[in-house]
Structure 1
Amino acid sequence: MTKLNRVVTKLPIVEVKHLNSGARLAEEVYTGLGGVLFSKGTLLYEREIEFLEAFMIKQVHVEGTGAGNGPEQAEAPMEEQAKAMDKLNPVKPTIQESFEKAVSSLKNLMIRVQGGNNIPVMEVREVVAPIITEFLRQPQVLLALPRFARMDSYAYEHAIAVGIISALIAKWIKVPEKEWMQVALAGTLLDIGKTRIDPRILHKPGKLTEDEFEEMKKHTVYGYQIIKASHGLSEGVALAALQHHEREDGSGYPLGLPGSKLHLYSKIVAVADVYHAMCSDRAYQKALSPYVVVEQLVQDSFGKLDPTIVRKFVDGITQFAIGTIVELSDGTIGKIVFTDRNHPTRPMVETGGKIVNLVDARHLSIIRVLEHM
């Protein structure tokens, strides 16, 4: 067969009811609602064929003839999972190492700011740019981001994470690409004003007194002043530091501004800030599952956070969930097989040979993200 003939050869279409175990998908399979049920290259065994039938998929494009290679492939799904993990494992340490390197570098730079120097903007950009680029290229790793953190350097990890999340939100809400780095810097530097807060207040393990909390709230103003004094940062970055604790209904601080008066960057970093904080282990709070957090964000967005940005963020962070291994609140482990765009935080999870639809099983929730396949 010539190269030309190979190019124009049509992919075989096989009736789902006639599929042989071990057939490999040649194209993605979509549900009637437009969500991806199975990705290209998925091997189809009894369980996968049951999913196709459950979603009333009649035909699929497969490689070859759609035939499996016989009984000896009965264990292939486990082998395929192992291969997938082998491919994934080199990726995760690399991006985690990049994250940890960025955290360490930022920590060293911030020590200089604590000493009274202006922000070394170009050096911060050099720290932030590579990790932002990696996450823009591999946004599916975002669900695993909270697992990268260690509580002993939370402030710097939080800064890098908020910068990453803010850049992704900027992309998802279609902020011009030339502004993505400024949005990322806005997220990374949103708490820079805390370098001017008394360490005894900043690191107090217990609840702050009313006077201490009033002093803590000044970090927003200090941050604005520090950023304004540093060259290479836009007004939006400074306003994000000032306004990231303001809320849509005017209930935030330091000025009690309503949403109509807030800069777009501040609305973006506010969502990123709340999300990562709730997903992280801290001295006074146990980390919550990303799925629990995004549900909370949706509930709290009206009146507090910009609902349009929250919705775009939730859609963005859940669009890569197919194949993610998760733990449910009843202790069972399962794999996400379908995410309904109308209920992105309540996907269908395959566990124990059955499908649990979290839209219907309201008593259950995803309490932990374990791996992405």
Structure 2
Amino acid sequence: MEVTVSNLENVQLGHIVAQDIFANTKSPIIAQNTVIRPVHLLILEAFQVKNVLIKEPESANETSEEINSSIPTAPPMTKKERYANIFERNYKNAIQQIKKEFFNWEAGAHIDITKVRGFFLPLLDNALQDRTVIYDLNAYSVPEDYIYHHCIATGLIAAVITQKLGYERGIIIQMGLAGLLADCGMAKVERRIRNKVSMLSESEFKEVQRHPYHSLNMIKMIPVLKDAMKLAIYQHHERLDGSGYPGGNKAESISKFAQIIAVSDVFHAMTSERLYRTRASTFKVVEMIRESEFGKFDMDVVQSLINVVADLPLNTQVELSNLEKAEVMFINQYALTRPLVKVLSTGELLDLSQHRAIYINRVLK
């Protein structure tokens, strides 16, 4: 193939990029051997690239074949649709079951871990096959039944983060169960306090802070739960800067598994509608955890959550915080939650890393 330097106006669909294209970025905005499609022309324009080293295919058939081979296969959103009905059915069943178990725990019953595994593991398998389900966990949550949704969601998110961090399946399942049971001790806190809409009194807040003790007492005799998970449950409200509870522990004295549950717990809590506040954007919340809460959480764990949440294929449609609908055109590897998007109503290209007041509100189905 003949390699030539072409200005942007002369770059055509079907041309092949002869070398990686950079635009003040450490990673290429378009990789070598990419077949030019409409999305690539928009990216070149957005980054004000003037000249491109291109090569023309040797034949029309080759152009057609390479364009077809460059078109990505069905994006994760179609996979999500495939699992949606099964996941929703398993999720609703899990909520019904954990609600019954909570009532039993309030009455003094021991945790039946066999029963818990029975209704939770099918749901966990759904989430591990399609991690994008955590986008919608806050949509399932009902404020009046928040604690039950929170237990299930925290377990799922903890398992997904653990998977993303590269742990083996046995640990992933253990972390899912630990996340689910982290707040089982809330069954020992009065419902009046759990469901209070106004600010808690000092004595009420101290009672809530005792729930890790209750959780530990409830799970300490469960043989199938590893000791490392029991410690994680007890420590999941500790913070690296010492601002957490119940022990005010710092840094290395807090287990990695406790940090996974901590991030999962905070992420679901902040993205869910509560009796006393509305839910926040998934993308906004992960930025807040990374930036506003810097120093409190393990950054490897936070980054793994961000990698899951911001894993958006090109052409994914999203709703922005200004309620405009947009399409993802380019993922900024150094600001994963802030891609380059095209506003559908105007065709405007918007780099969210440069427009900090606007963020992705939600991923559209």
TM-score category of the 2 structures, normalised to the smaller one: 0.7 to 0.9
Distance 1:112 1:61, change over 3 A: farther
Find out whether 1:197 has 2:197 as its counterpart: no
Q: Give the corresponding residue for 2:357.
A: 363
Quote how far apart the aligned CAs of 1:156 are: 1.3
Find out whether 1:237 has 2:236 as its counterpart: no
Distance 1:146 1:48, change over 3 A: farther
Give the whole-Å Cα distance in 2 for the aligned partners of 1:61 and 1:160.
54
Q: Is the 8 A contact 2:339 2:352 kept in 1?
A: yes
Quote how far apart the aligned CAs of 1:370 are: 3.7
Give the whole-Å Cα distance in 2 for the aligned partners of 1:107 and 1:212.
23
Q: More relative contact order in 1 or in 2 (CA 8 Å, sep 6+)?
A: 1
Q: Give the corresponding residue for 2:215.
A: 223
Instruction: Read off the aligned partner of 1:154 and give its amino acid letter.
Output: Y
TM-score, normalised with respect to structure 1: 0.79
Distance 1:60 1:180, change over 3 A: farther
Q: Is the 8 A contact 2:341 2:352 kept in 1?
A: yes
Q: Deviations over 1:225-248 (max 9, x none)?
A: 101033321222222222111110
Q: Is the 8 A contact 2:239 2:249 kept in 1?
A: yes
Give the whole-Å Cα distance in 2 for the aligned partners of 1:61 and 1:269.
52
Distance 1:88 1:276, change over 3 A: closer
Q: Give the corresponding residue for 1:329.
A: 321
Give the whole-Å Cα distance in 1 for the aligned partners of 2:125 and 2:99.
20
Q: Tell me, what secondary structure is at the counterpart of 1:346?
A: coil
**Which moves more between the two structures, 235-244 or 314-323?**
314-323
Question: How do residues 272-351 of structure 1 correspond to structure 2 at under 5 angstroms?
Answer: 272-320=264-312, 322-351=314-343
Q: Give the corresponding residue for 1:11.
A: none
Q: Deviations over 1:17-65 (max 9, x none)?
A: 3427xx9x9xxx9987658979xxx9955x5643366566766999955
Identity value in percent: 28
Q: Tell me, what secondary structure is at the counterpart of 2:272?
A: coil
Q: Deviations over 1:254-281 (max 9, x none)?
A: 1111121112221100000000111100
Q: Is the 8 A contact 1:37 1:322 kept in 2?
A: no
Distance 1:43 1:150, change over 3 A: farther
Quote how far apart the aligned CAs of 1:153 are: 2.1
Q: Give the corresponding residue for 1:8.
A: none
Give the whole-Å Cα distance in 1 for the aligned partners of 2:141 and 2:215.
24
Give the whole-Å Cα distance in 2 for the aligned partners of 1:113 and 1:106.
10
Question: How do residues 1-373 of structure 1 correspond to structure 2 at under 5 angstroms?
Answer: 17-19=11-13, 44-45=37-38, 49-51=41-43, 66=63, 89-320=81-312, 322-351=314-343, 352-366=346-360, 368-372=361-365
Q: Is the 8 A contact 2:319 2:364 kept in 1?
A: no
Distance 1:330 1:320, change over 3 A: closer
Quote how far apart the aligned CAs of 1:96 are: 2.3
Q: Tell me, what secondary structure is at the counterpart of 1:349?
A: strand
Give the whole-Å Cα distance in 2 for the aligned partners of 1:260 and 1:147.
35
Q: Which runs of 5+ in 1 are unaligned?
A: 1-14, 69-82
Q: Which runs of 5+ in 2 are unaligned?
A: 1-5, 66-74
TM-score, normalised with respect to structure 2: 0.80
Quote how far apart the aligned CAs of 1:128 are: 1.6
Q: Deviations over 1:77-121 (max 9, x none)?
A: xxxxxx998876454233222222222222222322222111111
Q: Cα RMSD (Å) of the superposition?
A: 3.4
Give the whole-Å Cα distance in 1 for the aligned partners of 2:162 and 2:208.
28
Quote how far apart the aligned CAs of 1:305 are: 1.2
Distance 1:250 1:84, change over 3 A: closer
Give the whole-Å Cα distance in 1 for the aligned partners of 2:208 and 2:90.
31
Distance 1:189 1:353, change over 3 A: same
**Which moves more between the two structures, 281-290 or 135-144?**
135-144
Quote how far apart the aligned CAs of 1:125 are: 1.2
Quote how far apart the aligned CAs of 1:195 are: 0.8
Q: Give the corresponding residue for 1:6.
A: none
**Which moves more between the two structures, 54-63 or 275-284?**
54-63
Q: Is the 8 A contact 1:343 1:359 kept in 2?
A: yes
Q: Give the corresponding residue for 2:71.
A: none
**Which moves more between the two structures, 173-182 or 268-277?**
173-182
